[in-house]
A and B are shown apart, each in its own frame.
Chain A
Amino acid sequence: MLHHNDAPPGTDTAPSLIDLFFQFMIIGAVSFGGGVVAYQRLLLVEKRKWLDADQFMASLAISQTMPGLNSVNLAVLAGDYLRGVAGAVAATLGLILPGAAFVMLVAAAYSSGHEHPVVNQLLAGVACGATGLLTAITAKLGGKLFRQVTSLLIIIATFCLMSFAKLSLVSVLLIMAPIALFIYRPRC
């Protein structure tokens, strides 16, 4: 568990804001094809030892529970632990700026080319690849949840409410979250 008061990152290990920003920016710039959390683990636990393995797992668990992208939440938590709010800002901006610049370049190319028939066919191919990737990620993250009856029923119910009943996301969450929380409530 993260504790601000036990063994705060010593002056010898606490990174400067610039260092924090650049280390996360490198991850944000090289993580083509996903797997950002794995790069973050490599940086935080192995390369710089800013967090130990338990602290990393605790932060990851919180990142997964809170809304938002896991890798971004992890940058917020690690940055905050190391350098407070300024650290959280530095790590998060470092992580998202390279990709944001990349998609803006792609957007410029898209705006100038998407009426062209050849570009359209290439985009059709790219969309098929992205479908395959999204399916692979869902299957991997879903993993064992697809093989357990309770979780599978929750998955199917959520999917049907969203895709077939076409409810809004707010409604789906208001219906499914209390049910799932009741099912998975802590037993003592």
Chain B
Amino acid sequence: MPVLVHLMLVFGLLSLLAVGGGTAVLPEMQSMLARHFGIDHTTFVNIYSLGQLAPGPNMLMVVVFGYQIAGFAGAGLVMTAFFLPSCLLCLGCGRYWVSIGERPWRRAAQNALEPISIGLMCSGVYAVAKNAVLGPFSALLAVAALALITFTRINPAFVILGSGLIGGGLILLTGLR
């Protein structure tokens, strides 16, 4: 299969499977990119992490995977394939809901999908952590970032930058992992 068609199918499918937000598809995206396009797990986590520095919706780093695999055409294609299907579905269903009004089944569907998407997000945390946390020092760094984001009002983008500069610097200087 030509790589662009394959890319489109993979990200189009991920678009429609992203229940409860984009992070639910992280583990599936990681394994699909490794299996079909040779993006290793460390590269995946690096690009995902850098993507968290970007403004806007939090899954825009998918564009970078497209770029890595098939250049600018890949980037444009992945952006379209990852956003267009879910947007069209939302547009259609949004209008449908507007015309029928609130139904008990919409509430039921949302209630049912919430714990599933949290479970998938836990898998996302696990997938990212497995490749980011390599020893006690990186574990400490991740916990420190978690605590700062949870208990202070500091902007998460600064926490990630700081974690890179200070934490990365310490890893470099001390050789701790």
Contacts and interface: CB of A to CB of B under 8 A. Distances in A.
Interface of A: 1-4, 27-34, 36, 58-59, 61-73, 76-77, 80, 85, 88, 92, 95-96, 98-100, 102-104, 106-107, 110-111, 114, 117-118, 121-142, 145-146, 150-152, 154-159, 162-163, 166, 168-170, 172-173, 176-177, 180-181, 183-186, 188
Interface of B: 13-23, 25, 27-28, 31, 43, 45-61, 63-64, 67-68, 75, 79, 83, 86-87, 89-91, 93-95, 97-98, 101-102, 104-116, 118-129, 131-134, 138, 141-150, 155-172
B34 to A, nearest CB: 12
A143 to B, nearest CB: 9
| Chain B interface, DSSP helix/strand/loop, else mixed | helix
A116 B171 CA distance: 14
Given A104-B63, A106-B64, A188-B104, A99 B20 contact: no
A35 to B, nearest CB: 9
Given A66-B93, A127-B49, A122 B165 contact: yes
A155 B112 CA distance: 11
Nearest to A160: B119
Contact of B149 (A68, A98, A136, A186): A136
A155 to B, nearest CB: 4
| Chain A interface, DSSP helix/strand/loop, else mixed | helix
Contact of A76 (B47, B87, B118): B87
A72 B123 CA distance: 23
Nearest to A150: B115
B64 A92 contact: no
A85 B91 contact: yes
**Among A3, A61, A145, A162, which residue has the most Cβ atoms of chain B within 10 A?**
A162
Contacts of B55: 28-32, 98-99, 102
**Among A68, A69, A181, which residue has the most Cβ atoms of chain B within 10 A?**
A68
Given A31-B56, A33-B155, A124-B134, A155 B50 contact: no
Contacts of B128: 127, 130-131, 134
A162 B111 CA distance: 20
A32 B167 contact: no
Contact of A104 (B75, B138, B142, B168): B75
Contacts of B133: 128, 131
Contacts of A66: 86, 89-90, 93-94
Contacts of A36: 56-58
A14 B60 CA distance: 29
A107 B68 contact: yes
